Amino acid sequence: MNLELTENRNISLPSYFYISGFSGIPHMRYYYIFLFFVYIITVLGNSCLMFVIIMDRNLHTPKYLAVFNLSLTDISESTAAIPQLLDTFLFGNQLIPYGLCMSNMFSVLLFLAMQSLTLTILSFDRLVAISLPLRYHMIVTHVSMLVIIGASWTLVLLLTIIGVNFMSRLSFCKFIVTVNSFYCDHGPIYRSACNNNFPSSVIANLFPAIILGFPVFFIIFSYTCIAVTLFKITTPQDRQRATKTCSAHLILVAIFYVPITLTYAFWPFINTNTRIINLSLTTALPPMLNPIIYTFMTEEFMVSVKRLLKRQFIYPSHK
């Protein structure tokens, strides 16, 4: 049935994609081992962050709904990218079947986009908290935060499904298609097609605009408004407290957006190895650093951790 459908549509699907990865760089095995440890720290760190949020009722706030969603997305993104990357290069399985390749592409794009939108949601939370503090609890409620998070998941899921669906309509002239990336990257694959790839090229331009362009614009707008508000605050203590609440989020934003934005902006001018290492580190490092930054730079979260530790280890009988 599938063969008949493929023939009727005059589409030739490759049996395998060959993920080329890095070329001409010695001792890359150590880089893959480094990514393995990054993945372990990512899973443990984000799991601990989610556990603390679940266990401490004081963190059952709209803001920490978004933080919980960020941790969930971080684990999912790392799991979608790193184990497959390790299997591909560390164990030499660079030939990936068509179906597995499309699944890998779908997962990486979905969770990468959701991480970007979640950082945008957190900037919205900080914007309202500092610029409209008296109306914060009316605007940012549990219901409104759940609606925003749900709408974000729906948007990225829809875009990713459309993108992968267009990929399934592409025809390839080779039995094995080489992909110059570290995973089943959308761009190198659709550009290797033999038939009309215009719909996929539209998605390739639309996707970065939605998951990078709009979030970066909104975050810049948010922190411009926050900066104006901070200048109006006359008390140094209030200004310092407000700045401290934003510092953790700003660091997360810089770690995620700076390398990926530079990579896409200078795509034609950088070589394949530089592009792959930038994108692979962007996929691996922010999910690992997010829980570490939130743990050490957010005072209310540290208070919750100390409260839980005291409850479990100092007063274990009082539950």
Residue 133 lies in a domain: yes
pLDDT in tens, 116-139: 999 999 999 999 998 898 999 999
pLDDT in tens, 42-85: 999 999 999 999 998 889 999 999 999 999 999 999 999 999 99
Residues spanned by the domain of 102: 16-293
Residue 274 lies in a domain: yes
Structure tokens at 19: 């993920």
Sheet holding 16-19, edge to edge: 95-97, 16-19, 176-179
Q: Strand (E) positions, 161-223?
A: 176-179
Average pLDDT, the chain: 87
Q: Span 181-194, mean pLDDT?
A: 91
The model's pTM is 0.89
Question: What was the pLDDT predicted at 2?
Answer: 43
Cα distance between residue 219 and residue 212, in whole Å:
11
Residue owning tokens 């990579």:
263
Q: What is the DSSP string of 107-124?
A: HHHHHHHHHHHHHHHHHH
Question: What was the pLDDT predicted at 162?
Answer: 93
Residue 10 lies in a domain: no
Residue 118 lies in a domain: yes
200 and 190 Cβ atoms separated by less than 8 Å: yes
What DSSP designation does 86 have?
Answer: I
Higher pLDDT, 14 or 299: 14
pLDDT in tens, 212-258: 889 999 999 999 998 888 888 767 777 777 777 788 788 888 889 98
Whether pLDDT at 22 is above 60: yes
Question: What was the pLDDT predicted at 7?
Answer: 41
Whether pLDDT at 6 is above 50: no
**Buried residues in 27-43 as b, exposed as e (16+ CB within 10 A):** ebeebbeebbebbebbb
Residue 314 lies in a domain: no
Q: Span 2-24, mean pLDDT?
A: 71
pLDDT in tens, 264-286: 777 778 888 888 888 899 899 99
Residue 86 lies in a domain: yes
Residue 263 lies in a domain: yes
Q: Span 78-97, mean pLDDT?
A: 93
Whether pLDDT at 315 is above 70: no
Whether pLDDT at 289 is above 60: yes
Question: What was the pLDDT predicted at 5?
Answer: 38
Structural domains counted in the chain: 1
112 pLDDT band, cuts 50/70/90, is very high
| CATH number of the domain within which 166 lies | 1.20.1070.10
